């Protein structure tokens, strides 16, 4: 097992720019979800992908979008960055159904928008 790997670990962007965050899921996990964790808060669900299809979305605007690839790796794209997008972005993968297994989380990407 290699776990969930996220890249980059940190990055700084300017307001209005676009960013792509990447995630490599744990082997055998066909479900991937992305979460946003603001400082001092619990993670908030952004969306989930199952077998390359979006399978649910949280309360985030359309400028947050994603992809899942045939090898189950994933990307999170954020357009028109705002200062409030500064947060730790966590990728999590699981076999299906998640309720039986729980998610395995990556260490996250710390995004700072200035």
DSSP β-bridge partners for residue 20: 77
36 binds other proteins (CB under 8 A): no
Among 56, 69, 77, 112, binds other proteins (CB under 8 A): 56
Helix ranges (H only) for the chain are 98-101
104 binds other proteins (CB under 8 A): yes
> Which residues lie near other proteins (CB under 8 A)?
4, 6, 31, 33, 35, 40-45, 48, 55-56, 58, 90, 92, 94, 96-100, 102-108
């Amino acid at each position: 097992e290699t776990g969930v790997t996220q890249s980059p670990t940190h990055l700084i962007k300017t307001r209005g720019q676009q960013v792509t965050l990447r995630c490599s899921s744990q082997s055998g996990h066909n479900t991937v979800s992305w979460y946003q964790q603001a400082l001092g808060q619990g993670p908030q669900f952004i969306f989930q992908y199952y077998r390359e299809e979006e399978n649910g979305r949280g309360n985030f605007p359309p400028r947050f979008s994603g992809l899942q690839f045939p090898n189950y790796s994933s990307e999170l794209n954020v357009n028109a960055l705002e200062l409030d997008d500064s947060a730790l972005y966590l990728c999590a993968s699981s076999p299906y159904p998640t309720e039986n297994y729980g998610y395995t989380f990556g260490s996250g990407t710390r995004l700072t928008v200035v």
